[in-house]
Structure 1
Amino acid sequence: MVDISVVTVWLLLCVGLGLAGGSIAVGGLPQLGRYAPAFGLPIALSLLGIVGLWIGHVSIALGLWVGLGFMAFGAVIATRQQNWWHQFRAGLPAYALFTVAFLLMISLRAMDPAVNPSSGEKFLNFGLLTAHLEADVLPAEDIWFASEPFSYYYGGHFVASLLARLTGTPARFAYNLSLATFYATLVTAAYGLAGAIGRRWKVGRTAALLGAFFVGFASNLLTVARLAAWALPDLLVSAFVSQPAAQVGLAPGSFDYWPASRIVPGMISEFPLFAYLNGDLHAHMLAMPFQLLVTAILYVYFWTPADRRGYRIVLLFGVVPAISGFVTATNAWALPVLAGLVWLTLYFAPAPPATLGFDRLWSAVPLDRLSIPAWAAAAGRAIASTLAVAVVMLLSIGWSLPFWTVTATSGMSLAFLPSRSPLPALLVIHGGFLVVLVPYLVRRLSPDASARTRIALVGGAVVTAGVLFPDFAGVVLFGLLAVVAWFVLRRTRSIEFDSTGYEALLAFGGLSLVVLVELVYLQEPAVPGRFNTFFKTYAQIWLLFGIAAGVVVARFLASNWSRSRPNISGRATRGALVSMLLLSTSVYGAGAVHQWTTADSDGVRTPDDPTLNALSFAEQRYPDQMAAINWLDDRSGTPTIASAPGAYIWKGYHWVNAPSSLTGLPTAAGWAHQAGYRGSDTYWGRVDDVGLIFNGGQQERYRQLERYDVRYVFYGPIERDRYGTGLFRNESAVTPVFEADNVTIFRVNQSAIDRREFSTRPA
């Protein structure tokens, strides 16, 4: 059963941190208005993370308390500037939304809390969390590569471990509590950012709720498209797809949450609801709330007048780099996207980027009396924006130095022109947003054109893309839309965004990223092709589109598209159209919630006996191994263990390396991920060394045990199957200390190994 006290203590801590961070937001980002408190928890967690990453190299505990001290000091200063009761009342909607979203996700996770390796990378994520709980200083030791720091972005897992330390929560419960916390933080931040943007158009409340919906609950259109294929005649369906309707259709009652994330062949296009339901505590998921925090700060900068230069400098060169640096340690894939947002904000902000400095030179040059060509002014603004972005990125990398200096990096390079995504797949993924953003952008581009003309323009673009450029159809279509968005931004900048706001900038960012991943990708050893580039970028595209769509739909409902033409259709028509959009993007969520609360198809979900214990399934399915794993978990410190590497099963999406993954104790060689992180020769060399521990002669065995400072050898079913039985008998240095039916744990007495017989170090 779910331990209510554990949930209550954790939730109270999050609300307390949110109140403290909310006070800082109200005092430091007043332009966000009533939506500033929505960023309270992202501010609090990022502050703990930033301080912890630096001081944690001396002591994690010291870093935690120093971070709390800084937060308390900032909250007190902010509260003294404004009435605390006013701040609390302003934040009530955000705190209530956080609580509702947290309880929703924790209820769903309680139905399927398992850290089950067959459904993703939960072993990796659980191991990252547990290793940081076990560590006293940073960097934590890699659970799959003993004696080396993690070669992975761990900032979010580190912060989750800090919450577990503050509440005294074991990792088996902290895992699912962290998932619910970051999900609720994301939804609340989306509420705050969309509300702040919509507030300028007097639709803040509606925009806030829609932004939270699109980011936190909406899905792509695959589910509703498959339901339509099931309902339509086969002849009609065959006109659009080559497969029979029975294969692509989705009959009611046969819903499965998984396919909606695998629309483009060989790629992953997750959206937040899928990601958090599936339950991987992935780095890109943990970074999302902090990315929205950076975006909110950029929005504040955007509308800050030029005469408040000092405030703008503090935001741009002080606050943004600090949080972006922490985001980099949480998910390095986010830094290039944040760099693009910074550039767009600087380029299109009413205050020219050149006004950030050189004030004497600026005032000495009578620009208002000079006739400067438009192209020269645009080029100057672009150059100034680029220089400022370079400074911001250098500062961001500086803030993340504690992460980079201890993290191994493998060879990566840019590659071009990968296999491109089919246009129908892209339309299914982004269609829910396109039906909102495309009419909005086209109307902004040509406000005097009729509705029929705009429809013909968009329809012609789709047909042209599909017929003339079949292999590049997606690139052409989204490229054209990005060009439209760019000219909308250019056009409206001259009239100070009279009818278009920051939502158009976010839409342009999302459209550009769709095009970018079709043309360029990062080639890395860990995963072939553009898989990771597509996966990690699409998670961020969803945020940009979701916030923009929330604001646009709110303006549409209020007929607030333009101040010059405020009423485009009747209220009933607008309501019906928006209802259809919300329904079509909600079908997946309804089906997923139903599946989660009723199904038990894989023997892991527990709708009849909910629990937050992430290891309960393992204790039922692998009782002997879990008894041994729990015995190891009770040992003090972080002793190195030897177990069979997950070397022969790609990605290890099976029950391999459970002793290290579920305890946070390092093993000499773990999952095959390490071949990409460390280099193939290095990893496979360790795999061979572990083989010598199990199958080598006594001298070879002792050499490797001493080399990796192994303290325990886990000898379970996988080890017996791979290396044989009857090992480690009658050896004084390796003695059994735990035995079950098919598991034995041996303690290695390092002092009993005769080091005079060999040398473990190369000459």
Structure 2
Amino acid sequence: MSRKSTVAGIAMILMVLATIPLLGSDNVPFLKWWIMILIIGIGFYPVTASLFAAYTDRGWLFSKVFGVAVSGFLVFALTVCKVTQFVSLTCIGVTVVCFLVCWIYGFKKVKVEMPDVDLIFQEEALFLLFFLLWTYLAGFHPEAHGTEKFMDYGFMKAMMRSTELPAKDIWYGTEGINYYYGGQYYAVFLTKLSFTDVKQTYNLMRTLVAAFAFVLPFSVCYQMLCARILQRRKKKKLSPVIGGLLSGAAVSLAGNMHYVVYGCIGKWLGWESAADYWFPDSTRYIGYNPVVENDRTIHEFPSYSFVLGDLHAHVVNVMFVLFVIGGVYAYVRRVQEEKAGEGKWDVKTILLQPHLILLAFFIGIFHWTNYWDFVIYFVVVCCGALYGALYRYRCRAKQVVSTVLAQAVEVFAIGTMIALPFTISFDTMVSGVALAQRHSMLYQLAILWGLPVCLVLLFLAAVFLTWKRIEAPAGAEADHSEKRREDAFSREMTERAADDAKQKALAEERKALKFRDFWARAPLSDIFAGILGVCAIGLVVIPEIVYVRDIYEEYYARSNTMFKLTYQAFILFGIVMGYILVRFLTWKKEHIIKAFGAVGLVCLLWTCGYFGTAVYSWFGNVLDPSEYRGLDATAYLENVFPEDASAIRWLDETVEGQPVVLEANGDSYSDYERVSAMTGLPTVLGWYVHEWLWRGDTLDLNTRSADVEQIYTSSDPDLVEELLQKYQVSYIFVGSKEREKYTALNEAVLQQVGEIVYQDEQTGTYILQIVREDG
């Protein structure tokens, strides 16, 4: 073992020991999860190594995400198809079988060079560091309460209770979940795989994703800069590490320039609009400051999500979209390393690209984890396929077009098939696409996106203006035949200069040759950075042109579209900025480019101050370990719902399966539905606007709401029994919210139709069980 590996190993041992004073008893589930993810990474490493052969670590960090995605999906598909049940034994069995298949394949088929072991140890230490950091922070504000947390935690609890998928919708008790629940599913899959408790793993999942959100961008940028250095025939320097750290920070820790302008400069200058800056302000700027009543928008980013603690669809999917980005880069590296003759056009070669098949698999699971990412990364994959075709076929139009079309159809078809276990029972929530009637103010777009957009545009200009002077790279990235062909054209043009018509034709052909020469000789890492940057710019521009219609049309028409598109733009920009800044700062001769790099670096590091501000605002004094409260997401119950807490815990611990528990329904983002959310037990009707979005049937929602009120307030026992039978209610919860909402609560009738099985004498909260003759 080398010195570097030894140092990284000692660092990991020290971090493991540090979990005892930092996490207390929570160190047990934390270490279970770290070891589980480590084993999954080892189990799937042979296949990952063959696909990420161009990476010096052979895709070590990506093997973890790959293993979680594949084994989790197989369990999901088998459960949906009723081949097996969603239990711990199934999760373990499927994962072990996957390990065996991967290692058998590795011994028989995989032939790759040894990975950089030092880098693997260092990356694992970096992963453990950020997993521990975020887990420690989560323990200062662990409660699954506020924003979307009731929904996220409730979905997890519902799937923990259920052996079938989809589980019952906690807020629409007689039906299954009709939402993109893949993210919460993967959290539950890992929970069942590790024999841990949702109370802790709700927070462990979000801290795991946050750790991946640093190390995966680090890996991609590191590999891009390493390839660039090797292409210039130089030894590795510190620049790949610096670039990787910048990319990791830009994706997972940084805010946007709104924090710099309003949270820092505006406060220093005494601006009234910046006086009360709070960290969520950077995600609610367009439409809020100044107020535009009919154009409220959202532009969140990962560090805000990780601090806030939501485990929503777009958050969990961060680790999967980062895998896709890394996979696209691995694919285009593979194309550049093809041997002579591999560029021949044939259907078998085009459609049996293992990288694209794997990327299509991930595109498919995006149907189920976060559908917006299906559309976004389908385009990103197609852009990678386009570059691969341009390079492989030297820009010959017929081969390029046919290849890209065939591969796009293949990716879409495979993705659609992978999604079938989910889509077969899912009713779409999309109501069409419309032209944007309102647009963002230019200065607001400049504040939010000016830094990354300027860096990308400056980088593209610098690359296009200087590519001719780039020394032809050695090995896979060189194509000396293109240079010889260009010289031949020069001689031929000189010999035939007298013929004007032919001279014009030759000039046009020379232009085409230069275009082909650019794609053949320009550094791959530069081109890939350009692809990601252009895609990110497109994601920022699209909400200014069109938006996807939903129920929030009147005041928040563009809100969800801007939210989901720019969230991914932020991730793409983050990866690219680390690479661009290092390229600028190490640029030869052009001092103005280095100056741009220095300014950009200062701005990026300044935006990272958002992390510290947000942590202090949300978690408090994290430098004092004595204020650590633990990872239990339900520990807040006794403080927030003192009248109901013991009854909620009784239900959670006593009742098995998913029988329907009636509780008062209420508005979205309110404290109503605390019973269903904390237990995973379905109720007749939950958060109204959420179910309106998921179901689109307000008539049925209103009927359910009226029926719930009738059950709690009616003086007719027969009617109450009829409604209880209609919704298959097994328990009735009578607590603080029920008494608050139904002032005409008829407890005599309720106790007539049900038997009290739990009662808190001090608070008056009780639970009725409905006993039917049919059992």
For Structure 1 versus Structure 2, the TM-score category normalised by the shorter chain is 0.7 to 0.9
Contact 2:170 2:676 survives alignment (8 Å): yes
Hey, what's the Cα distance between the residues in 1 that align with 2:112 and 2:401?
A: 42
Hey, what's the Cα distance between the residues in 2 that align with 1:134 and 1:224?
A: 45
Say yes or no: does 1:674 pair with 2:674. Answer: no
Per the TM alignment, residue 491 of structure 1 is displaced from its structure 2 partner at its CA by 8.0
Per the TM alignment, residue 591 of structure 1 is displaced from its structure 2 partner at its CA by 1.7
Aligned position for 1:403: 422
Superposition pairs for residues 429-440 of structure 1, below 5 Å? 429-440=448-459
Residues 333, 200 of structure 1: CA spacing in aligned structure 2 closer, same or farther, 3 A cutoff? same
Residues 428, 411 of structure 1: CA spacing in aligned structure 2 closer, same or farther, 3 A cutoff? closer
Contact 2:529 2:576 survives alignment (8 Å): yes
Say yes or no: does 1:661 pair with 2:691. Answer: no
Residues 111, 221 of structure 1: CA spacing in aligned structure 2 closer, same or farther, 3 A cutoff? same
Superposition pairs for residues 120-135 of structure 1, below 5 Å? 120-135=147-162
Per the TM alignment, residue 350 of structure 1 is displaced from its structure 2 partner at its CA by 4.9
Residues 70, 548 of structure 1: CA spacing in aligned structure 2 closer, same or farther, 3 A cutoff? farther
| Range 611-620 or range 198-207, more displaced | 198-207
Aligned position for 1:301: 331
Aligned position for 1:36: 59
Aligned position for 1:444: 463
Hey, what's the Cα distance between the residues in 2 that align with 1:698 and 1:152?
A: 36
- Counterpart of 1:179, as a letter, is R
Hey, what's the Cα distance between the residues in 1 that align with 2:750 and 2:466?
A: 87
Contact 1:645 1:671 survives alignment (8 Å): yes
Per the TM alignment, residue 345 of structure 1 is displaced from its structure 2 partner at its CA by 1.4
Per the TM alignment, residue 436 of structure 1 is displaced from its structure 2 partner at its CA by 2.3
Say yes or no: does 1:143 pair with 2:162. Answer: no
Aligned position for 2:661: 641
Over the matched positions of the two proteins, sequence identity in percent amounts to 22
Residues 387, 28 of structure 1: CA spacing in aligned structure 2 closer, same or farther, 3 A cutoff? closer
Per the TM alignment, residue 554 of structure 1 is displaced from its structure 2 partner at its CA by 1.9
Say yes or no: does 1:702 pair with 2:718. Answer: no
Hey, what's the Cα distance between the residues in 2 that align with 1:536 and 1:688?
A: 34
What is the DSSP-based 3-state SS (H/G/I as helix, E as strand, rest coil) of the residue aligned with 2:548? strand
Aligned position for 1:362: none
What is the DSSP-based 3-state SS (H/G/I as helix, E as strand, rest coil) of the residue aligned with 1:712? strand
Say yes or no: does 1:72 pair with 2:99. Answer: yes
Aligned position for 2:255: 219
Hey, what's the Cα distance between the residues in 2 that align with 1:747 and 1:694?
A: 14
Per the TM alignment, residue 426 of structure 1 is displaced from its structure 2 partner at its CA by 1.4
Per the TM alignment, residue 378 of structure 1 is displaced from its structure 2 partner at its CA by 4.6
- Counterpart of 1:42, as a letter, is V
| Range 332-341 or range 288-297, more displaced | 288-297
Hey, what's the Cα distance between the residues in 1 that align with 2:521 and 2:267?
A: 48
Per the TM alignment, residue 675 of structure 1 is displaced from its structure 2 partner at its CA by 1.6
Coordinate RMSD, CA, aligned = 3.0
Contact 1:191 1:211 survives alignment (8 Å): yes
Among 186, 190, 197, which residue is 2:217 paired with? 190
Among 220, 230, 253, which residue is 2:267 paired with? 230
Say yes or no: does 1:278 pair with 2:270. Answer: no
Contact 1:598 1:607 survives alignment (8 Å): no
Per the TM alignment, residue 700 of structure 1 is displaced from its structure 2 partner at its CA by 1.6
Hey, what's the Cα distance between the residues in 1 that align with 2:378 and 2:774?
A: 56
Superposition pairs for residues 549-564 of structure 1, below 5 Å? 549-559=577-587
Per the TM alignment, residue 204 of structure 1 is displaced from its structure 2 partner at its CA by 3.4
Unaligned runs of 5+ in 2: 1-22, 230-238, 288-295, 469-511
Per the TM alignment, residue 574 of structure 1 is displaced from its structure 2 partner at its CA by 7.6
Per the TM alignment, residue 614 of structure 1 is displaced from its structure 2 partner at its CA by 1.1
Contact 2:436 2:543 survives alignment (8 Å): no
Among 10, 14, 26, which residue is 2:37 paired with? 14
Hey, what's the Cα distance between the residues in 1 that align with 2:439 and 2:594?
A: 41
Unaligned runs of 5+ in 1: 233-244, 356-367, 369-373, 450-486, 560-565, 754-763
Hey, what's the Cα distance between the residues in 1 that align with 2:406 and 2:448?
A: 35
Per the TM alignment, residue 90 of structure 1 is displaced from its structure 2 partner at its CA by 4.2
What is the DSSP-based 3-state SS (H/G/I as helix, E as strand, rest coil) of the residue aligned with 1:175? helix
Contact 1:418 1:530 survives alignment (8 Å): no
Per the TM alignment, residue 403 of structure 1 is displaced from its structure 2 partner at its CA by 0.7
Among 699, 708, 727, which residue is 1:690 paired with? 708
- Counterpart of 2:540, as a letter, is V
Hey, what's the Cα distance between the residues in 2 that align with 1:667 and 1:416?
A: 38
- Counterpart of 1:188, as a letter, is V
Contact 1:320 1:392 survives alignment (8 Å): yes
Superposition pairs for residues 447-486 of structure 1, below 5 Å? 447=466
Aligned position for 1:513: 539
Residues 386, 516 of structure 1: CA spacing in aligned structure 2 closer, same or farther, 3 A cutoff? farther
Contact 1:22 1:38 survives alignment (8 Å): no
Residues 507, 285 of structure 1: CA spacing in aligned structure 2 closer, same or farther, 3 A cutoff? same
Among 365, 372, 392, which residue is 2:411 paired with? 392
Hey, what's the Cα distance between the residues in 2 that align with 1:17 and 1:730?
A: 51
Hey, what's the Cα distance between the residues in 2 that align with 1:22 and 1:219?
A: 33
Residues 276, 750 of structure 1: CA spacing in aligned structure 2 closer, same or farther, 3 A cutoff? same
Per the TM alignment, residue 411 of structure 1 is displaced from its structure 2 partner at its CA by 5.1
Hey, what's the Cα distance between the residues in 2 that align with 1:572 and 1:529?
A: 42
Contact 1:35 1:192 survives alignment (8 Å): no
Say yes or no: does 1:103 pair with 2:132. Answer: yes
Q: TM-score, structure 1 length as denominator? A: 0.81
Deviations 1:125-145 (A, max 9, x none): 111111111110211111011
Per the TM alignment, residue 516 of structure 1 is displaced from its structure 2 partner at its CA by 1.1
Hey, what's the Cα distance between the residues in 2 that align with 1:300 and 1:400?
A: 24
Residues 46, 674 of structure 1: CA spacing in aligned structure 2 closer, same or farther, 3 A cutoff? same
Contact 1:164 1:171 survives alignment (8 Å): yes
Aligned residues: 664
Aligned position for 2:20: none
Aligned position for 1:206: 242
Contact 1:23 1:87 survives alignment (8 Å): no
What is the DSSP-based 3-state SS (H/G/I as helix, E as strand, rest coil) of the residue aligned with 1:737? strand
Contact 2:351 2:406 survives alignment (8 Å): no
Hey, what's the Cα distance between the residues in 2 that align with 1:420 and 1:491?
A: 39
- Counterpart of 1:505, as a letter, is I
Superposition pairs for residues 586-735 of structure 1, below 5 Å? 586-598=608-620, 608-634=627-653, 635-646=655-666, 649=667, 652-672=668-688, 673-678=690-695, 679-696=697-714, 697-723=716-742, 724-729=744-749, 731=751, 733-735=753-755
Contact 2:547 2:558 survives alignment (8 Å): yes
- Counterpart of 1:277, as a letter, is V
Per the TM alignment, residue 589 of structure 1 is displaced from its structure 2 partner at its CA by 1.4
Per the TM alignment, residue 414 of structure 1 is displaced from its structure 2 partner at its CA by 0.9
Hey, what's the Cα distance between the residues in 2 that align with 1:742 and 1:538?
A: 48
Per the TM alignment, residue 510 of structure 1 is displaced from its structure 2 partner at its CA by 0.6
- Counterpart of 1:105, as a letter, is W
Contact 2:51 2:355 survives alignment (8 Å): no
Hey, what's the Cα distance between the residues in 1 that align with 2:115 and 2:461?
A: 41
What is the DSSP-based 3-state SS (H/G/I as helix, E as strand, rest coil) of the residue aligned with 2:684? coil
Deviations 1:689-721 (A, max 9, x none): 222222232222111111111110011122122
Contact 2:91 2:192 survives alignment (8 Å): no
Residues 512, 571 of structure 1: CA spacing in aligned structure 2 closer, same or farther, 3 A cutoff? closer
Per the TM alignment, residue 409 of structure 1 is displaced from its structure 2 partner at its CA by 2.4
| Range 682-691 or range 506-515, more displaced | 682-691
Hey, what's the Cα distance between the residues in 1 that align with 2:279 and 2:729?
A: 42
What is the DSSP-based 3-state SS (H/G/I as helix, E as strand, rest coil) of the residue aligned with 1:301? helix
Hey, what's the Cα distance between the residues in 1 that align with 2:391 and 2:112?
A: 35
Hey, what's the Cα distance between the residues in 2 that align with 1:507 and 1:575?
A: 16
| Range 101-110 or range 523-532, more displaced | 523-532
Residues 165, 185 of structure 1: CA spacing in aligned structure 2 closer, same or farther, 3 A cutoff? same
- Counterpart of 2:260, as a letter, is V
What is the DSSP-based 3-state SS (H/G/I as helix, E as strand, rest coil) of the residue aligned with 2:56? helix
Hey, what's the Cα distance between the residues in 1 that align with 2:523 and 2:429?
A: 48
Hey, what's the Cα distance between the residues in 1 that align with 2:528 and 2:739?
A: 60
Hey, what's the Cα distance between the residues in 1 that align with 2:597 and 2:286?
A: 32
Hey, what's the Cα distance between the residues in 1 that align with 2:748 and 2:515?
A: 74
